[in-house]
């Protein structure tokens, strides 16, 4: 896995660039991340880095976790995550902050979706439901028949039915970093990703867009051109309105 950090989703806001263009962003606290352990192929069979985030009291951790942390002379933390094939040279005890990432870099954000509890087929799958008129009684939000008659004589696997909704791990890919605030250990990421405010998340380098790729430059150029076109249209509208007056 490329460079990544554990973080906490703080909320949402908006920022404005020099041209006054508004960008909705998600605010993520990503530091400090403490390096607890560095695994090597020679001794552990694979390369990986264990990071800890959000300090915790020792008495609130199990003896096994406390023993593991003390073995590597670390500090008790609430969350521990292992990143394989970490592309940055680190050592146990190092502290990683928001400046690991750069403005304009694309990242993948991993979070857990909001739990919705038990949902029916209309809320869970977007079913149309039954008719509200013409004698339809008691079938307004139901799925209808689910059987297969005599053959094969059972309900097919994977059939969309009522059940538990949400609380699953999901990844939003290729989100752009708008600002890196090193002093606050905060990243401002364009758009949104799964999770409630206050939930823990993972921010890692995008797997599908490299920061050095030509595709990244093309994306930035296209956005810049779109802004220029939008600004030109606004100017033309203002000029037309002034002429009418």
| pLDDT of residue 140 exceeding 80 | yes
Tokens of 108: 């993948």
Question: pTM for the full model?
Answer: 0.79
Q: Say which DSSP state 240 is in.
A: H
Residues 22-28 have a mean pLDDT of 95
- Check: CB of residue 144 under 8 Å from CB of residue 103: no
Tokens of 214: 């030509």
Residues 13-33 have a mean pLDDT of 91
- Check: CB of residue 9 under 8 Å from CB of residue 198: yes
Tokens of 238: 């203002």
The predicted pLDDT at position 87 comes to 86
For the stretch 29-80, pLDDT in tens is 998 999 999 999 998 899 999 999 999 999 999 999 999 999 988 899 999 9
In this prediction, residue 229 has a pLDDT band, given cuts at 50, 70 and 90, of confident
């Amino acid at each position: 896995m490329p460079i990544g950090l554990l973080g906490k989703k703080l909320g949402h806001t908006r920022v404005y660039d020099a041209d006054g263009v508004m960008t909705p962003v998600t605010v993520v606290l990503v530091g400090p991340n403490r390096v607890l352990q560095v695994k090597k192929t020679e001794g552990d069979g694979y390369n990986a880095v264990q990071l800890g985030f959000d300090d915790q009291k020792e008495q609130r951790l199990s003896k096994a976790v406390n023993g593991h942390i003390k073995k590597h002379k670390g500090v008790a933390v609430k969350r521990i995550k292992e990143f394989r094939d970490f592309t940055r040279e680190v050592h146990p005890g190092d502290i990683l902050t928001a400046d690991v990432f750069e403005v304009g870099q694309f990242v993948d954000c991993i979070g857990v979706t909001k739990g919705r509890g038990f949902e029916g087929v209309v809320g869970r799958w977007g079913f149309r439901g039954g008719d509200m008129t013409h004698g339809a009684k008691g079938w307004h939000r139901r799925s209808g028949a689910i059987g297969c008659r005599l053959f094969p004589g059972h309900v097919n696997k994977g059939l969309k039915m009522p059940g538990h909704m949400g609380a699953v791990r999901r990844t939003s890919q290729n989100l752009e970093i708008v600002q890196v605030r090193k002093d606050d250990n905060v990243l401002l990421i364009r758009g949104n990703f799964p999770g409630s405010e206050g939930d823990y998340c993972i921010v890692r380098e995008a797997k599908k867009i490299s920061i050095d790729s030509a595709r990244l430059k093309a994306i930035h150029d296209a956005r810049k051109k779109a802004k220029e076109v939008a600004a030109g249209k606004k100017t033309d509208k203002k000029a037309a309105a002034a002429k009418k007056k």
